[in-house]
Amino acid sequence: MVYLCEDKIISCDLQSLEGASGDLNQQFDHEIVYGPPAHASFHRMTIAPPAVLGIETSCDETAAAVLRGDRRILSSVVLSQVALHEVHGGVVPEIAARAHLDHCDEVVRRAVAESGVGWTGIGAVAATVGPGLIGGLVVGAMTGKAIALALGVPFLAINHLEGHALSPRLDPGVAFPYLLLLASGGHCQFLVVEDRGRYSRLGGTIDDAAGEAFDKTAKLLGLGYPGGPALERAAASGDPARFALPRPMAGRPGCDFSFSGLKTAMRHAVEALDGEPGARDVADLAASFQRAAADVVADRARNALRMAEERGVAPTALVVAGGVAANAEIRARLAAVGAGHGLELRAPPLRLCTDNAAMIAWAGVERLARGERDPLDAPARPRWPLDPRAA
């Protein structure tokens, strides 16, 4: 608590002043308190939760966000590169890196301006340094380091996967430990999230990631890029029982995934049609694929929960994060699995499932709260597993 009289500090505790600098009106939330002497106006102030600037450039979104330690997202700007990569049917690393270089500064400026705190209100900078496409990682990491150095604030080198893993904690009801399915275009794994920085991998894909399988199947069906949302829209009007597709790994011990066989079966199903697939064929194929993928995810989740319990872990929730977490059918199936174990399914809001900088800023908040910071020579890391024992 800080007390001011005529804009001078007359009483405070050391913890309240720690990290405060610059314009006090930008550092504190305040209210007027009148007390002795009668003519004095006392401002009772508490330090506002620190504002952390997050920067995300690991793949094909250039993103920046400002977030406070009280979980309030002050701004979130995401510049998608879909138009650049759509013609190629997937992300081209060199094009992605150049786009990040062209737009990162402006995206960061917009995020800071829209946050309302200004540059002097930024208390730390968190930037994704891995895993991901090395060109984009270098752009975001160097931008974040330069800003941290210029402002004289801590720099936090964030693992992109940890950003996803901790993003459900933007909802204050999600407590450690929890069982996480991290499923995106590049990753698909079950982890026990014991605490910030403590992850135990239970299983993962032995070939393709779930999001990759959705994208490639959508491309096969001519649904465009990005494939996951397009396939889900097509599946909404389809018959999921029309095509008999395999459920790879289902019924086997453990919680590993395999999606390559499912993709191959989809290609065979398309080739077996009489001519090019029509609109009804595409809808039914999409629905059949989505149902098969959801069945596999549900089966693997049941095993993952049993494995966690066998290890003596009592999860507070079943959590799904990453781009695939936006799929409604997969969410519904996971919710049913969780309910069978007395657990609620928790997931980030849909806008925070895909890559964004708010989750990077939040990971920075979590690390900052533990007194952590990183040196300005922290390297970009194209590979960086959450559980180093599973590398």
pLDDT tens sequence across 206-255? 999 999 999 999 999 999 888 999 999 999 999 999 999 999 999 999 99
- The separation between CA 341 and the C-alpha centre of its own chain, rounded to angstroms, equals 25
Distance separating alpha carbons of residues 339 and 329, to the nearest angstrom: 15
| Over residues 309-335, mean pLDDT | 97
What's the confidence (pLDDT) of residue 46? 45
Between CA 194 and CA 351 the distance in angstroms is: 25
- Residue 25 predicted with pLDDT over 50: no
- Check residue 48 and give its pLDDT: 58
pLDDT tens column, 241-283: 999 999 999 999 999 999 999 999 999 999 999 999 999 999 9
Q: Are domains 51-168+354-390 and 176-347 of this chain identical in fold?
A: yes
Lowest mean pLDDT among 7-11, 181-185, 194-198: 7-11
The ranges assigned to domains in the chain are 2-47, 51-168+354-390, 176-347
Average pLDDT over every residue of 323-345: 97
Distance, in Å, from the CA atom of 70 to the CA atom of 155, rounded to the nearest integer, reads: 19
Question: pLDDT for 39-68, tens place per residue?
Answer: 444 444 445 567 999 999 999 999 999 999
Domain covering 176-347 assigned CATH 3.30.420.40 in the classification: yes
| Confidence at residue 391, expressed as pLDDT on a 0 to 100 scale | 66
Contact in structure between 20 and 29 (CB atoms under 8 Å): no
Task: Give CATH superfamily name and number for 51-168+354-390.
Answer: ATPase, nucleotide binding domain (3.30.420.40)
User: Mean pLDDT, to the nearest integer, of 346-351?
Assistant: 92
pLDDT per residue over 153-182, tens digit each? Answer: 999 999 999 999 999 999 887 999 999 999
